[in-house]
Amino acid sequence: MKYYITTPIFYPNSSPHIGTAYTTIAADALARYHRLRGDDVYFLTGTDENAQKIVRTAEGKKMNPKEYVDGVVERFQELWQLLDISNDDFIRTTEERHHKVVQEIFARLYEQGDIYKSEYEGWYCTPCETFWTENKVVDGKCPNPDCGREVELLKEESYFFRLSKYQEHLLAHIRANPEFIQPASRRNEMIRFIESGLEDLCVSRTTFQWGIQVPFDQKHVVYVWLDALINYISALGYPEGEKYGHYWPADVHLMGKDIVRFHAVIWPIILLALGAPLPKVVYGHGWFLSKEGGKISKSRGNVQDSFELIRRYGSDAIRYFLLREMQVGTDGTYSEDALVERLNSDLANDLGNFVSRSLAMVVKYRGGVVPKSGSDTSLEQEIKALILDVKAGVEARMDAFDPAGALEQIWRLVARCNKYVDETAPWSLAKLGGQEDRLNTVLYYFVEEIRILNILCAPFMPGLAPKISKLIGRDPGQWEEASQWGVVAPGTIVEKGEPLFPRVDIAQLVEGENKDMDAENKAVGAQAAPEFEPIKEEVSIEDFAKLDFRVAKVVSVEKVEKTDKLLRLELEVAGEVRTVVSGIAQHYAPEDLVGSKVVVVANLKPAKLRGITSQGMILAASHGGALEVLTLEKDLPGGAQVK
């Protein structure tokens, strides 16, 4: 089936920001999902360049408008590449292919009486590219709550488009097709707006010449909201182009909620006047708000540099965070702290740790060769049933334009896979006799679970897919393979590889940036000396002798629930098994330590951590974010003294 999806075309009056990135990432996730399902996808994005504020911004920089927008558009295209955006086309409204279609449509609507010439007098907001009537203006300022800037009184000859003529026709279409405007809150808002009465739309300007000229009246240029909206069909070669015949109508126009009115009212009426099919869905998502409150936007001056974020955390982490935070029908909240928390918790601890520890055990116990699976138990049957349920859940949420809900479904499976590792305890199976078949089954399930997660995550984090594919020796494949079992052939070679998502300490990140800034102020080539914790005050040999250091054999290890830092270790010390809780979970998976010999302070007073009595402390070295537990290579017995 064909699937045509669009973003709005963005104003290139400054570099793209995080809110702009969300719309395009969400559209890309939907496009990639449909491609995986085998659909014939066409994904369009672009820039809206014929606007008065472009002229004013360029003038302020002492540049001509074309020179100015060329530079900004290059930044948009660079960002989309860094974010792995898979658009099939990028349209600019300064292109000849667009100019030609806009002029043809303007002339046709004029000839059939849907456009007429009159005179306009009203209040104009340049940043919003919107005219306002006297009763809408608030104290001489734009009534748009996200703007509020000064408006100017304009009086000029203009051409008008008869919106009012098609008001009832559009209302009838909306009522007959409840899926046309989504979510429901936007639909209800648009119905109320239309029922209040539509005024004819000013569609030309004479006070500047940057734009598309009205073909039969050279002193007029086409006003932005007639010009810009036509991009969705001019990019397809309307009216005779092969792509137009194949892909139109659009399956979804995706945009922020602030421009739904233009896409759900003006654009459909233009299409009604042309006798063209209407898009199937106009979807208006929420805004990203700053943690202090208020929309993240260029006009508010609270935008985050998308290029800098990608440099710090990588494209997949940014994509995951933005898609996961924007719930259907609501606004999302952005902060860098929240981004790092998601990266560390969901990506590093949950998904990344599962992949790493699972493949490490295949390497450790089977030399990296995928074994043949044995018989299933109820645990394996539960996993298979959950996979089918999760896949269906992802499909339902993506069909409802809800990437956040789809990711929530996938993370149900991620959580269950991690639990499966702890339930099956392969490190224990490897030590027991007669458990070879059971261990083979568990290890095989690990690889298949990773393969299926790779397919499910591919639309959302496309940079992740080739990394996992390299580890398991298999490309993600098509969507339907996520519901098939036994795809990975026994004998396939896998590898542990590097961590997919290294953890980030935002405090150290900020500190590091400050140090970088300080270093820039020093002489070129100067190197900051490594910093160490100061050596503590001296103690007597008698005080030191009070501490009893012992060798301890690690019998078992498991993560402490509801924390991402603590591991619970069972240690064999001098013939007894004792529990020690250690904050090393960010550096070691449980199976990494089982069977090793560590050094423990054996006579430390017990302490309760997360309700667990910890009877000692293992020794570890740390510096600059790196940590290593002190282990012994020789086979000394648990309980041997360390002197």
CA distance 65 to 49: 9
Note whether residue 340 is domain-resident: yes
- Looking at residues 231-242, what average pLDDT do you find? 97
Instruction: Give the count of beta carbons closer than 10 Å to the beta carbon of residue 399.
Output: 12
Peptide bond into 239 cis (omega under 30): yes
Tell me the percentage of the chain whose pLDDT exceeds 70. Answer: 91
- pTM assigned to the model: 0.78
- Looking at residues 182-189, what average pLDDT do you find? 94
CA distance 189 to 240: 35
- Looking at residues 594-604, what average pLDDT do you find? 86
Residues 297 and 146: beta-carbon distance below 8 Å: yes
Q: What is the pLDDT of residues 629-639, one digit of tens each?
A: 888 766 777 77
CATH number of the domain enclosing 408: 1.10.730.10
Asked if the model's pLDDT at residue 627 lies above 60, the reply is yes
**pLDDT tier, 136 (very low <50, low <70, confident <90, very high otherwise):** confident
Task: Name the DSSP letter for residue 207.
Answer: S
In this structure, are 453 and 352 located in the same domain? yes
Peptide bond into 249 cis (omega under 30): yes
In this structure, are 439 and 550 located in the same domain? no
Long-range contacts (CB closer than 8 Å, 24 or more residues apart) made by 421-428: 421/354, 421/357, 421/358, 421/446, 422/558, 422/559, 422/590, 423/379, 424/379, 425/556, 426/361, 426/365, 426/591, 427/361, 427/556, 427/590, 427/591, 427/594, 427/595, 428/556
In this structure, are 385 and 476 located in the same domain? yes
Full residue range of the structural domain in which residue 464 is found:
335-483
In this structure, are 443 and 581 located in the same domain? no
Strands 597-601 and 549-559 turn out to be: antiparallel
What per-residue string of b and e applies to 445-469 under the rule 16 or more CB within 10 Å gives b? bbbbbbbbbbbbbbbbbbebbebbb
Highest-confidence range of 10-14, 493-497, 535-539, by mean pLDDT?
A: 493-497
Note whether residue 570 is domain-resident: yes
CA distance 258 to 287: 9
Residues 202 and 182: beta-carbon distance below 8 Å: no
Residue 371, pLDDT score: 97
Residue 146, pLDDT score: 67
In this structure, are 367 and 452 located in the same domain? yes
Residue 300, pLDDT score: 47
Using alpha carbons, select from 622, 532, 638 the residue that is nearest to residue 584: 622
CA distance 76 to 81: 9
DSSP tally for the chain: helices H, then strands E: 23, 25
Tell me the percentage of the chain whose pLDDT exceeds 90. Answer: 58
Note whether residue 619 is domain-resident: yes
Determine whether 220 is exposed, middle or buried from the number of CB atoms within 10 Å of its CB (0-12, 13-18, 19+): buried
Instruction: Give the count of beta carbons closer than 10 Å to the beta carbon of residue 393.
Output: 17
Using alpha carbons, select from 277, 233, 282, 254 the residue that is nearest to residue 89: 233
Could you give the dihedral angle defined by the CA atoms of residues 201, 207, 209 and 211, in that order, rounded to the nearest 10 degrees? -20
Note whether residue 57 is domain-resident: no
User: Which sign, positive or negative, has the C-alpha torsion 294, 297, 299, 302?
Assistant: positive
Q: Report how far Cα 611 is from the mean position of its chain's Cα atoms.
A: 36
- Looking at residues 104-128, what average pLDDT do you find? 89
Q: What is the mean pLDDT of the chain?
A: 88
In this structure, are 584 and 477 located in the same domain? no
Concatenated DSSP letters for 536-547? PPP--HHHHHT-
CA distance 446 to 455: 15
CATH number of the domain enclosing 558: 2.40.50.140
List Cβ neighbours of 443 (8 Å cut-off, separation of 6 or more). Answer: 361, 362, 365, 366, 370, 371, 426
In this structure, are 426 and 563 located in the same domain? no
In this structure, are 358 and 477 located in the same domain? yes
Instruction: Please tell me the total count of domains within the chain.
Output: 2
* Listed residues 483, 502, 520: the one ending a domain: 483
Residues 347 and 354: beta-carbon distance below 8 Å: no
CA distance 501 to 305: 21
In this structure, are 352 and 467 located in the same domain? yes
- Looking at residues 2-12, what average pLDDT do you find? 94
Note whether residue 576 is domain-resident: yes
Note whether residue 69 is domain-resident: no
* Listed residues 465, 483, 501: the one ending a domain: 483
In this structure, are 435 and 545 located in the same domain? no
Task: Name the DSSP letter for residue 432.
Answer: S
Q: Report how far Cα 377 is from the mean position of its chain's Cα atoms.
A: 36
> Which of the pair, 490 or 517, is modelled with greater confidence?
490
Note whether residue 202 is domain-resident: no
As given in the structure block, the two tokens for residue 634 are 């020789």
Could you give the dihedral angle defined by the CA atoms of residues 123, 126, 127 and 133, in that order, rounded to the nearest 10 degrees? 20
Concatenated DSSP letters for 563-622? -SS-EEEEEEETTEEEEEEES-TTT--HHHHTT-EEEEETTSPPEEETTEEE--EE-EEE
| 3-class secondary structure, 641 | strand
Note whether residue 421 is domain-resident: yes
Q: What is the pLDDT of residues 19-45, one digit of tens each?
A: 788 999 999 999 999 999 999 999 999
Q: What is the pLDDT of residues 381-420, one digit of tens each?
A: 999 999 999 999 999 999 999 999 999 999 999 999 999 9
* Listed residues 483, 508, 529: the one ending a domain: 483
In this structure, are 344 and 478 located in the same domain? yes
Task: Name the DSSP letter for residue 631.
Answer: B
Residue 516, pLDDT score: 44
Residues 296 and 336: beta-carbon distance below 8 Å: no
> Which of the pair, 527 or 20, is modelled with greater confidence?
20
**pLDDT tier, 292 (very low <50, low <70, confident <90, very high otherwise):** low
**pLDDT tier, 510 (very low <50, low <70, confident <90, very high otherwise):** low
Phi, psi of 92 (to 5 degrees): -115, 135
Highest-confidence range of 105-114, 153-162, 223-232, 254-263, by mean pLDDT?
A: 105-114
In this structure, are 469 and 349 located in the same domain? yes
Asked if the model's pLDDT at residue 294 lies above 70, the reply is no
CA distance 516 to 148: 39
**pLDDT tier, 192 (very low <50, low <70, confident <90, very high otherwise):** very high
Residue 561, pLDDT score: 79
Asked if the model's pLDDT at residue 476 lies above 90, the reply is no
Residue 507, pLDDT score: 65
List Cβ neighbours of 463 (8 Å cut-off, separation of 6 or more). Answer: 84, 314, 315, 316
Q: What is the pLDDT of residues 312-355, one digit of tens each?
A: 899 999 999 999 998 877 888 888 889 999 999 999 999 999 99
As given in the structure block, the two tokens for residue 472 are 């398991």
- Looking at residues 281-308, what average pLDDT do you find? 69
- Report the interhelical angle of 167-176 vs 184-195 (nearest 10°): 150
Asked if the model's pLDDT at residue 427 lies above 70, the reply is yes
281-290, 372-381, 382-391, 583-592: least confident range:
583-592
